[in-house]
């Protein structure tokens, strides 16, 4: 193996290991002191300084010998798996050579003689760049992480064993149609060729395990893992059942998502005096996205931000495939060769989470059966897990209102993994795209489409009883931000309250020429309209004059320098806890672990705050202005940090949970970030845009918070982070390396580009 500009390892990053920094610092300090001593005194003083420095290094090495041994093992694993240009690559199943061209941003463009050969090539390059990522997701979703991670992974393994995602993936694999089975078979062949060619990724070497061969069912397991993250509303379903049991119907309807804005007369009667602590959960990061299309003089422009956990390696991967009949370029989840957001030169598409009601908690039947599974634990004894199922549905270990319940989730139906969504790659018009999605079941998503003829559409897709749509609206604008945007509202569950969607529509209504640059700027919009009503309440309250002045001067955004915004964020949380908790006392009495988890929290909260009925005051509060002033004072606190100090966002690698001292090497340092959960630029610690796209039917650009590669010594480990931070357009990237993938039965040929 050799190295080019695209694969030249950055070995100097190893200086970020703590022992290398410490020993290097001692050596530099010793050398400087010895030189100073030699210049100002007798030579023996310089020798003494060197001896003292050597002694300090020896003491450090002895004192930290255990960690140094682990650091050495990590460094060896990194250097043994360092990225390089392939010399000879044979991929089973290829019908002809596949040309791989690596660009300066680490994206590998694959040019093949057929669609399936392009997918085999994708499996190879994705396996090279994200081999650990693939295996980590597969093990996590299958409940087998403790085999390599140790006892700390047992709770996660127990959770996923009880859910049975691996069983569901195997059932779905048996029902796949031929096009999707061929797709996943080709992809698996490429992944396994990369494992055979490059050996285990550095994480596997460090932890001493070798990834198992990739299978068709593994890709479906990745799909189910993604669907689970988007749609597993168990906390909300539990809370809903308790609220309906504990409270009168009118009060329950008011407190549940989508309820009326009018405070029910019966609310006063259910107020409790013994207010439970931490019963209201505000602003848990819920996986979601922004996506919109705007038509204009130059044709439609589609922009999409996929909001997911911010991790290393990045949760999305840029794909660029070309074959004689077509091409596809976009963002995919590693392990799943399906472009979620992208285009093919004729049609572009983007997705957001539908927030559909795809999970119900149902009574477990008398015929439920229990088996014992054993979770293998590295360095320990196996852990027994009792798995109970009612047919194909898992019976949850925690009862609901004293009764056993099973989880009826559409992901357990094999049709949820039909993957027909992938056929968008060959659709050329919005009409063809609609036909593809009409025939598909799969994961419940919003899908937005636009084509070269200027047609646009927004559809609900997935295993749903109804699939409403909007096609070619007169406004020329379509927006989906996890809100209930489509007509009919037949299936939403705790949909996003719509603050992001309203802001996007407002800006697009004033945008007559939707250029890619204008859409890219909108992706970084930090308007925080949700908090204006809380600001007005605070300014009207008898709070400290300096605080009132600060909040009155707030510019309405979640910019990093704002000192008012963090006060408003905390004020909203405090008011939700103080005002709503008394009406949930009966719920906590009925279910000791009850929490109110809904995104629709502001509707009932602001309804109560707006009327300021003395009969609705929380226990201990004399009047509403005084209560609000008290919360404002508490929210301000003693210190007044800027939002950027509060909202400092970085990316961490899973290995840092086992080796926190390696954070500087394996992670991306936290930096102050503008944006918030309810602004268009969603960015908070651990959660934000895992990928951004701005697309026209003729092409587009993509941004990722980290690089294509998961290897810390690769030049493409974190190279895309600076572009992701700012709102400017990504620069065009030229080809810097090329090689060929050849059929396994032919001599492999490597052709390296300049």
- Encode pLDDT of 257-272 as tens digits: 989 999 999 999 999 8
Residue 428 near residue 436 (C-beta atoms within 8 A)? no
Residue 256 near residue 243 (C-beta atoms within 8 A)? yes
Residue 110 near residue 125 (C-beta atoms within 8 A)? yes
Using alpha carbons, select from 114, 93, 124 the residue that is nearest to residue 337.
124
Cα–Cα distance between 529 and 523 in angstroms, integer? Answer: 16
Return the bridge partners of 394, or none: 389
Model pLDDT, residue 3: 63
Helix (H) or strand (E) holding 740: strand 735-743
CA distances from 198 to 90, 105, 123, 709 (A): 12, 21, 13, 14
Give the residue ranges of the annotated binding site for Ca(2+). 360
Model pLDDT, residue 20: 75
Tokens read off for 235: 């906390």
Cα–Cα distance between 382 and 374 in angstroms, integer? Answer: 6
Using alpha carbons, select from 352, 342, 351 the residue that is nearest to residue 425.
342
CA distances from 152 to 260, 310, 379, 382 (A): 44, 21, 11, 13
Which amino acids are annotated catalytic? 289
Q: What is the 3-state secondary structure (H, E, C) of 284-333?
A: CCCCEEEEEEECCCCCCEEEEEEEEECECCCCCEEEEEEECCEEEEEEEC
Helix axes 565-580, 545-552, angle to 10 degrees: 110
512's CB contacts (< 8 A; 6+ apart) are 296
Using alpha carbons, select from 496, 495, 410, 494 the residue that is nearest to residue 228.
410
**What region, left, alpha or beta, does residue 521 occupy, with left being phi > 0 and alpha being psi -120 to 50 degrees?**
alpha
Q: pTM of the entire structure?
A: 0.93
In sequence order, which ranges of 342-429 are alpha helices (DSSP H)?
none
Strand 735-743 to strand 90-91: parallel, antiparallel, or no bridges (unpaired)? Answer: parallel
Residue 268 near residue 615 (C-beta atoms within 8 A)? yes
Half-sphere exposure of 541 (CA within 13 A, CB side): 26
Residue 703 near residue 686 (C-beta atoms within 8 A)? no
3-state secondary structure of 470: strand
Using alpha carbons, select from 505, 509, 504, 503 the residue that is nearest to residue 531.
503
Model pLDDT, residue 35: 74
Using a 10 angstrom Cβ sphere, with 0-12 exposed, 13-18 middle and 19 or more buried, the burial of residue 615 is exposed
CA distances from 75 to 31, 200, 531, 659, 719 (A): 26, 15, 48, 13, 21
Tokens read off for 649: 């966002």
Residue 23 has a CB neighbour count (10 Å cut-off) of 17
Cα–Cα distance between 719 and 416 in angstroms, integer? Answer: 36
Tokens read off for 246: 């504990």
Backbone φ, ψ for residue 328 (5° rounding): -155, 140
Backbone φ, ψ for residue 465 (5° rounding): -70, -30
460's CB contacts (< 8 A; 6+ apart) are 354, 356, 444, 445, 446, 447, 466, 467, 468, 469, 486, 491
CA distances from 442 to 172, 330, 412, 439, 685 (A): 11, 19, 11, 10, 31
Tokens read off for 84: 């390089």
Helix axes 43-63, 18-40, angle to 10 degrees: 170
Tokens read off for 300: 């439609």
CA distances from 660 to 44, 310, 654, 655, 665 (A): 41, 17, 10, 8, 10
Using alpha carbons, select from 486, 529, 163 the residue that is nearest to residue 352.
486
Q: What Rg, from alpha-carbon coordinates, does the chain have?
A: 28
Helix (H) or strand (E) holding 101: strand 98-103
Residue 83 near residue 711 (C-beta atoms within 8 A)? yes
Q: Could you tell me the end-to-end alpha-carbon distance of the chain, in angstroms, rounded to an integer?
A: 16
Cα–Cα distance between 305 and 701 in angstroms, integer? Answer: 12
Give the residue ranges of the annotated binding site. 360
Q: What is the pLDDT of residues 616-673, one digit of tens each?
A: 999 989 999 999 999 999 999 888 899 999 999 999 999 888 888 889 999 999 999 9
127's CB contacts (< 8 A; 6+ apart) are 134, 190, 191, 192, 193, 194, 195, 198, 214
Half-sphere exposure of 753 (CA within 13 A, CB side): 16
CA angle, residues 119, 124, 127, in degrees to nearest 5: 120
Tokens read off for 2: 């050799």
Model pLDDT, residue 703: 95
3-state secondary structure of 579: helix
Strand 648-651 to strand 301-309: parallel, antiparallel, or no bridges (unpaired)? Answer: unpaired
In sequence order, which ranges of 495-592 are alpha helices (DSSP H)?
499-509, 516-523, 532-540, 545-552, 565-580, 585-590
Helix axes 216-231, 165-173, angle to 10 degrees: 130
Residue 403 near residue 357 (C-beta atoms within 8 A)? no
Cα–Cα distance between 694 and 190 in angstroms, integer? Answer: 29
Q: Which residue bears the tokens 């409403």? A: 468
Model pLDDT, residue 151: 92
Model pLDDT, residue 84: 77
Q: Mean pLDDT per segment of 10 residues, for the chain of length 754 residues?
A: 68 82 72 71 71 71 78 86 79 92 92 96 95 94 93 94 95 96 97 92 89 96 94 94 96 94 93 86 79 94 95 94 96 96 97 93 91 93 94 94 94 95 96 96 95 96 91 96 83 88 95 91 96 96 90 96 96 95 93 92 95 92 93 90 94 89 91 94 93 94 94 92 84 79 64 34
In Å, how far from its chain's centre is CA 752? 35
CA angle, residues 517, 520, 522, in degrees to nearest 5: 115
């Amino acid at each position: 193996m050799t190295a080019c500009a695209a694969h030249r390892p950055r070995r100097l990053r190893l200086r970020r290991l703590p022992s290398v920094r410490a020993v290097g610092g001692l050596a530099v300090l010793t050398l400087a002191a010895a030189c100073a001593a030699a210049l100002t005194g007798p030579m023996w003083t310089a020798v003494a300084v060197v001896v003292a420095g050597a002694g300090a290094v020896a003491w450090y090495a002895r004192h930290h010998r255990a960690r140094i041994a682990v650091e050495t093992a990590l460094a060896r694993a990194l250097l043994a798996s360092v990225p390089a240009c392939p010399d000879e690559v044979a991929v089973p199943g290829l019908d002809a050579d596949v040309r791989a061209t690596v660009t300066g941003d680490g994206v590998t463009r694959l040019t093949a003689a057929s669609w399936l050969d392009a997918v085999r090539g994708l499996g190879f390059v994705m396996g090279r760049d994200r081999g650990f990522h693939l295996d980590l997701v597969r093990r996590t979703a299958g409940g087998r992480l403790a085999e390599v991670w140790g006892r700390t992974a047992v709770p996660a393994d127990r959770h996923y064993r009880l859910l049975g995602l691996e069983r569901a993936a195997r059932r779905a694999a048996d029902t796949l149609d031929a096009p999707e089975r061929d797709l996943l078979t080709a992809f698996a062949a490429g992944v396994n060729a990369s494992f055979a060619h490059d050996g285990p990724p550095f994480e596997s070497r460090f932890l001493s395990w070798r990834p198992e061969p990739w299978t068709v069912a593994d890709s479906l397991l990745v799909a189910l893992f993604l669907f689970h993250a988007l749609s597993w509303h168990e906390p909300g379903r539990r809370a809903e059942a308790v609220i309906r049991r504990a409270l009168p119907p009118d009060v329950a309807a008011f407190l549940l998502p989508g309820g009326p804005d009018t405070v029910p007369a019966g609310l006063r009667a259910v107020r409790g005096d013994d207010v439970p602590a931490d019963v209201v959960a505000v602003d848990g990061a819920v996986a979601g996205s922004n996506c919109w299309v705007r038509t204009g003089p130059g044709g439609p422009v589609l922009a999409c931000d996929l909001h997911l956990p911010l991790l290393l390696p990045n949760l999305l991967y840029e794909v660029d495939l070309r074959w004689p009949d077509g091409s596809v370029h976009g963002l995919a989840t590693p392990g799943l060769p399906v472009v979620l957001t992208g285009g093919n030169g004729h049609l572009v598409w983007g997705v957001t989470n539908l927030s559909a009601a795809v999970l119900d908690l149902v009574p477990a039947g008398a015929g439920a059966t229990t088996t014992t599974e054993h979770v293998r634990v590295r360095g320990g004894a196996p852990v027994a897990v009792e798995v109970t199922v009612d047919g194909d549905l898992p019976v949850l270990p925690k009862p609901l209102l004293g009764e056993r319940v099973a989880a009826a989730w559409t992901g357990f139906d094999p049709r949820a993994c039909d993957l027909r969504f992938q056929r968008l790659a060959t659709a050329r018009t919005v009409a063809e795209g609609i036909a593809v999605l009409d025939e598909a079941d799969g994961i419940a998503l919003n899908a937005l489409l636009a084509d070269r003829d200027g047609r646009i559409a927004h559809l609900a897709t997935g295993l749903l009883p109804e699939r409403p749509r909007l096609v070619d609206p007169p406004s020329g604008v379509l927006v989906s931000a996890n809100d209930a945007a489509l007509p009919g509202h037949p299936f939403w569950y705790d949909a996003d309250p719509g603050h992001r969607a309203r802001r996007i529509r407002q800006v697009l209504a004033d945008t007559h020429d939707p250029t890619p640059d204008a859409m890219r700027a909108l992706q970084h919009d930090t308007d925080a309209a949700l908090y204006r009503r809380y600001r007005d309440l605070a300014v009207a309250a008898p709070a400290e004059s300096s605080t009132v002045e600060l909040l009155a001067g707030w510019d309405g955004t979640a910019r990093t320098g704002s000192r008012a915004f963090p006060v408003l964020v905390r004020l909203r949380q405090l008011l939700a806890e103080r005002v709503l908790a008394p009406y949930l006392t009966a719920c906590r009495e009925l279910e000791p672990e009850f929490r109110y988890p809904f995104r629709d929290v502001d509707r009932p909260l602001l309804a109560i705050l707006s009327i300021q009925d003395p009969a609705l005051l929380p226990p201990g509060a004399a009047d509403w202005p005084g209560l609000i002033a008290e919360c404002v004072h508490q929210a301000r606190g003693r210190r007044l940090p800027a939002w950027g100090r509060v909202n400092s966002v970085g990316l961490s690698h899973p290995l840092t949970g086992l080796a926190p001292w390696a954070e500087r090497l394996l992670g991306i340092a936290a930096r102050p970030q503008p944006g918030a959960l309810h602004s268009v630029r969603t960015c908070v610690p651990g959660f934000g845009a895992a990928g951004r796209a701005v697309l026209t039917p003729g092409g587009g650009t993509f941004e990722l918070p980290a690089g294509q590669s998961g290897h810390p010594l690769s030049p493409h480990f974190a190279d895309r982070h600076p572009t992701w931070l700012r709102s400017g357009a990504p620069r065009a990237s030229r080809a810097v390396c090329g090689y060929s993938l050849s059929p396994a039965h032919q001599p492999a040929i490597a052709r390296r580009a300049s």
